[in-house]
């Protein structure tokens, strides 16, 4: 069924993650993964981190925006299971070595499906327990 919406969806623009402690999150996304803080809205308590063509925004739960969602996220009951970021290049050995050196908790590497097809991906965990998938380019062997 086609929609009669007065717009067409072009893609994701940003995600906003609630957190208990801002600094470890900024360290993880910026110092370790290589994102940069692009903008801060101190009235709202919103820290906007550039991740390629998109943003990952961080909203501490003790500031205005984050507090609207009540309690801190727990270990379970998340509304977002995980999210995936496209990375290039994807060299699994180099990525695992680098992230291990940075003390990041690593999960499995596998060929997984994404927005552009099947390709290598690794699951890691951010300081607040969110699962982040680092996804390499699609591999022609699997597509």
The site for another protein, by CB under 8 A, has a size of 75
Contact between 107 and another protein by CB under 8 A: the answer reads no
Check if the beta carbon of residue 61 is closer than 8 Å to that of residue 69: yes
CA dist 100 and 130 (Å) reads 17
State which of residues 37, 105, 110, 116 lies at the interface with another protein (CB under 8 A). 116
State which of residues 28, 59, 123, 124 lies at the interface with another protein (CB under 8 A). 59
Contact between 103 and another protein by CB under 8 A: the answer reads no
Check if the beta carbon of residue 56 is closer than 8 Å to that of residue 49: yes
As to burial, measured by CB atoms within 10 angstroms (0-12 exposed, 13-18 middle, 19+ buried), residue 141 is exposed
Cβ closer to another protein: 98 or 142? 98
State which of residues 23, 24, 37, 83 lies at the interface with another protein (CB under 8 A). 83
Sites for another protein among residues 38-57 (CB under 8 A): 39, 41, 48, 50-57
If DSSP codes are grouped into helix, strand and coil, which group holds residue 137? coil
């Amino acid at each position: 069924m086609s929609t009669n919406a007065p717009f067409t969806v072009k893609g994701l623009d940003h995600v906003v993650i609630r957190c208990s402690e801002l600094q470890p999150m900024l360290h993880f996304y910026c110092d370790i993964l290589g994102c940069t803080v692009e903008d801060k809205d101190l009235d709202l308590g919103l820290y906007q981190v550039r991740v390629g063509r998109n943003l990952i925004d961080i909203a501490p739960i003790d500031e205005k925006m984050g507090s609207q969602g009540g309690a801190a996220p727990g270990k379970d009951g998340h509304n977002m299971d995980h999210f995936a970021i496209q990375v290039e290049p994807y060299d699994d050995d180099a990525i695992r070595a680098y992230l291990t050196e940075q003390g990041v908790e690593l999960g499995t590497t596998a060929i997984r499906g994404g927005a552009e097809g099947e390709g290598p991906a690794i699951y890691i965990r951010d300081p607040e327990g969110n699962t982040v998938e680092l996804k390499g380019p699609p591999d022609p062997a699997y597509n």
